[in-house]
Structure 1
């Protein structure tokens, strides 16, 4: 796609109802009328812990252990976690059709002093591991749901790491990974909470980033009566399309890479993969980032190294025109015409031979200089995505796709295909019903439940533009009133879930709870940079000229964080969402 065509696509995908209606609300001096809240949660104290292993009963569930954890026995983002009960167990233990043993393994952490709320932690990647049930919130490390007093569950979604390479071949394991594990765990977790505290949760929330965000988005469609709040980060709700776009992009970067150059495989230290990063080096990506800043940085009223006006930037920036062209050899300060063409094609999301789009376009943003951007485009596209496409997302499954020989024209329809053994396609398993057409969320809205979405604008694997367009479709399906129960917060400069030249430390769970239980809709949420001395970990990619504690408001789309014209430029208080 030519750049001019691509810019036109960005300008025309936003329905007038959302763009105008939300913008007027954002510019108004009168806050939006709060929606009728659900009753707030009421906390209580833990009644039992050790005895849960022998006394708790739930169909298809086994508690393997239950033991108290003293205050400070777990640390999160430099903070000691209060005393709680750690419960480990399994659901639906079975012998798979492949002869392997499967189960949905989980852990729950139940605070001694409970706030009356349940948080289902969706994990990332291909799952396969029970990550600590800390209630991770996405973005840079910050307080989790557990620290805030929630009872939290985490699971492996029905398979172990040892089965990651093959679980897609086992039909039920596919279903559990797609959406059934969350559906099976939810009533069990609520029952376990009732056994531990003498009452079930007053309010329930589910959240995560990447695949965890996908879990939350799918739950909103499939389990709209089970959760009151959905925290949806960088949702890979079209995960098969995104993975296929990675293969397509890798094929186009390969001719530009240094012949014979390799790097270590991220999961197998004894193996090497082609060094696709040599096709667009770190200095060259920094050159592109500076060109984007040169064209777009001031669109929000201040040149500060962040592009807040994302949509305006897509109309303003042209990679062919704005990035210097190499007159001679590559030296990091320019791109060759072939590099420019390939970058524009990859950022447009890729196309099959017949012109069919493979995936959404990606926004141009200064976070393209981030190391995580390169990891996804140049390493994971070779090391991880071929496995996912071949064994999990196609029906029937095949061997892991080979980058050189992968036929995108064959694989694209295969992710939507079904068979007698796999009656649901890979795309249907991974996506909300309707494959991204959110027309079935009216009951969720009517019940008073709320959704908060966020996405790094420089996410290299799941496109922030894909999430934005999903939100536009939601607004259309809700008659222009999506903001009554859903808000989307793009994070300028942020890569996949965190990192990049950005302010990526933020908590959107607190505002979501306040919206659900007090009726106060979030319009601006403060995000901070993780500079020197940050307790949650330092972001090494922050520009040297930024203050270590720089803060910015994350603004509900389509409003933009705009400089007020005065005030300290490192402080969120000097910006307004408008």
Structure 2
């Protein structure tokens, strides 16, 4: 048995052991990181601001760019206005297309490479942004650089960053790449490690200087990439922007499969597991949650700001009517209350071992986005990940059937297999997908880098409770306070990265740059609702009674946005973080 196998087995035992014996709200507690002295004892370095440079044109750039194991396939001049953000033209830039480490797989015989595009502004601000993409990757999305939230009004490219986007080492959105052992590792963490120095080298060639400051960010799996980079590549980036991070993605996927089993058992139509918790029933529960929790922040405004207090105030058994003989949308059956309540408390295996975190009760359950993750992705996207990308050994892609795998598979077996390794797949998914020692960010902290994390409290696939637990562990590992280098912002009502009854439009990147380069720690971030006419696109989930331009402060945990007691309830200025 080699050392990688041993690490995978130890990681699996650790996760399974914690899941089996947790007596708190959530299963995960990371290994204790060495506690740092209080922040005041060791002032952190202040990084200097970036300075820009100009590139007259893209002419001749292709002939000058080279890097080991890298093929530049094209360099294109992109005229101003070709790319737009919220209707605003992005300035002229060069698009560099290429591949790294092209090879043929010994497992499936297919050709793999790490595909990328790097966009280089002619007027560069001296900064580099790694765009960490979501889902199972597999495509080179336009390298724009997300600033956070839904319906963005700006992006990093428009702000003058050089931005890279990549496919994480495989082409196509399907999970079949998981048969190739190296593609698993590239997807998990190695693509970031390979692309980062290459991109910085090309930037140096293009502008005559390396980036002064480097940032990485994304949402969902992009948030996971970012959190993994914070742990593995703390020397490569100065700012880390993680949105709705699925940093324990394999476990969240198995928990969602557990949800599919529960909803199938409650379904009135066996062809549609969504009939186990209908839209009317989800609206019923959302309204019951609001009835108990909305005004806890001083304003009855359709937002639950304090999810911790709501956990104590709302009880599904007590606060939702119980059906008699018929389910008609005005009640839940006793079986629904037991099953759905258990999922929100934290999904378990058949033998009662905790799989993943609890989920907060919130107001976004009735949305289409929530339903899609719970009733569709659980049978397709999550099953492909668990069965083909993370399991050792993987399922046979020629015969794999996602819904059958989800509804007939054994959860304990799934959990064991994502924690396993062998001679071909030498790292378990709990090694290559998760950040090692997630609460130990001492390298990042000591060099003056900063981390900003946000998470929607109505996210149906990655729980904001899980991220809250991570941040609590980070605080504990840093003398009780990590706010001098890492801050966590919950976004009330927001679904997965965007949408939901929420003020979900905000620019966290600008706040992060001001913190990294100017020492201005974000005391709050103003977020806006996207009503009709919003330049970034309207959010169809907004309640009819809200102002189309409602604003709220997003507050750094553990602070909560609280109504001052007077002032326009639609305006952020009427709330304070406390």
Answer yes or no: same fold by TM over 0.5.
Answer: yes
**2:375 & 2:436 partners in 1: Cα distance?**
31
Aligned to 1:535: 535
CA drift at 1:310: 1.3
- Once residues 71 and 346 of structure 2 are traced to their aligned partners in structure 1, the CA distance between those partners, rounded to angstroms, is 44
Cα distance, 1:133 vs. partner? 0.2
Tell me the residue number matched to 1:176.
186
Aligned-partner Cα distance in 1 for 2:325–2:382: 35
**The 10-residue stretch of structure 1 (378-387 or 43-52) with the greater mean CA deviation from structure 2:** 43-52
Give SS of 1:369's match.
Answer: coil
Q: Is structure 2 residue 145 aligned with structure 1 residue 135?
A: yes
In the alignment, what sits opposite 1:153?
A: 164
Q: Deviations over 1:406-453 (max 9, x none)?
A: 01121111111110111100111110113x4x22x1121010000000
C-alpha distance in 1 between matches for 2:159 and 2:517: 15
* Structure 1 residue 7 displacement after superposition: 11
Q: How does 1:313-462 map to 2 (within 5 A)?
A: 313-399=310-396, 400=400, 402-434=405-437, 436=438, 438-439=439-440, 441-462=441-462
Residues 330-361 of structure 1: CA deviation (Å, up to 9, x unaligned): 22121111111111111122112332111111
Is 1:74 the counterpart of 2:83 in the alignment?
A: yes
Rounded Cα–Cα distance in structure 1 between residues aligned with 2:204 and 2:133: 24
Change (3 A) 1:161 1:506: same
- Shift of the alpha carbon at 1:9? 3.1
For 1:474 and 1:395, the matched residues in 2 are separated by 31
State which of 9, 12, 21 in structure 1 corresponds to 2:25: 9
* Contact residue 34 and residue 520 of structure 1 kept, 8 A: no
User: Greater relative contact order (Cα 8 A, min sep 6): structure 1 or 2?
Assistant: 2
Q: Paired residue for 1:266?
A: none
Q: Which moved more, 1:136-145 or 1:420-429?
A: 136-145
Shift of 1:78: 1.9
Q: Please state if 1:61 is matched with 2:70.
A: yes
Whether 1:205 and 2:212 are equivalent positions in the alignment is: no
Deviation (angstroms), 1:235: 1.0
Deviations 1:385-423 (A, max 9, x none): 111101111112124451232011211111111101111
Match status 1:251 vs 2:261? yes
Deviation at 1:35, TM superposition (A): 5.8
Note the C-alpha offset of 1:36: 4.5
Spell out, residue by residue over 1:205-238, the C-alpha distance to the aligned partner (whole angstroms, 9 max, x if none): 0000000000010001110000000001111111
Residues 1:42 and 2:51 aligned together: yes
Summarize the Cα distance change of 1:8–1:315 in structure 2 as closer, same or farther, 3 Å threshold. Answer: farther
SS at match of 1:66: strand
Q: Provide closer, same or farther for how the CA distance between residues 8 and 100 of structure 1 changes in structure 2, counting only shifts above 3 A.
A: closer
**Aligned to 1:166, what secondary structure does the other structure show?**
helix
- Number of positions where the alignment pairs a residue of Structure 1 with one of Structure 2: 542
Aligned equivalents of 2:88, 2:342: Cα separation in 1: 44
TM value normalised by structure 2: 0.91
Residue 8 of structure 1, CA deviation: 6.7
- Candidates 189, 204, 207, aligned match of 1:194: 204
Q: Distance in 2 between matches of 1:384 and 1:547?
A: 35
User: Residues of 2 paired with 1:485 and 1:559: CA distance?
Assistant: 16
Matched residue, 1:268: none
Q: From 213, 224, 231, give the equivalent of 1:221.
A: 231
Q: Is the 8 A contact 2:217 2:242 kept in 1?
A: yes
Which range is displaced more, 286-295 or 324-333? 324-333
Task: Structure 2: give runs of 5+ residues left out of the alignment.
Answer: 1-21, 31-37
Distance in 1 (alpha carbons) for counterparts of 2:257 and 2:532: 37
Q: Tell me, which stretches of 5 or more residues in structure 1 are unaligned? A: 1-5, 15-21, 26-32, 262-274
Q: How far did residue 285 of structure 1 move?
A: 0.7
RMSD: 2.2
TM (norm. structure 1) is 0.91
Distance 1:390 1:280 in 2: 26
Q: Helix, strand or coil: the match of 1:108?
A: strand
- CA deviation string 1:94-141 (max 9, x = no partner): 111121111000001111111110000000000000000011233112
Match of 1:18 in 2: none
Alignment of 1:232 with 2:229, yes or no, is no
Deviation at 1:531, TM superposition (A): 0.1
Q: CA deviation at 1:535?
A: 0.9
* Distance in 2 (alpha carbons) for counterparts of 1:74 and 1:186: 24
CA distance in 2, matches of 1:362, 1:382: 20
TM-fit CA distance, 1:51? 2.1
Residues 334, 524 of structure 1: alpha-carbon distance in 2 compared, 3 angstrom cutoff: same
Q: Structure 1 CA distance, aligned partners of 2:270 and 2:423?
A: 43
Deviation at 1:43, TM superposition (A): 0.9
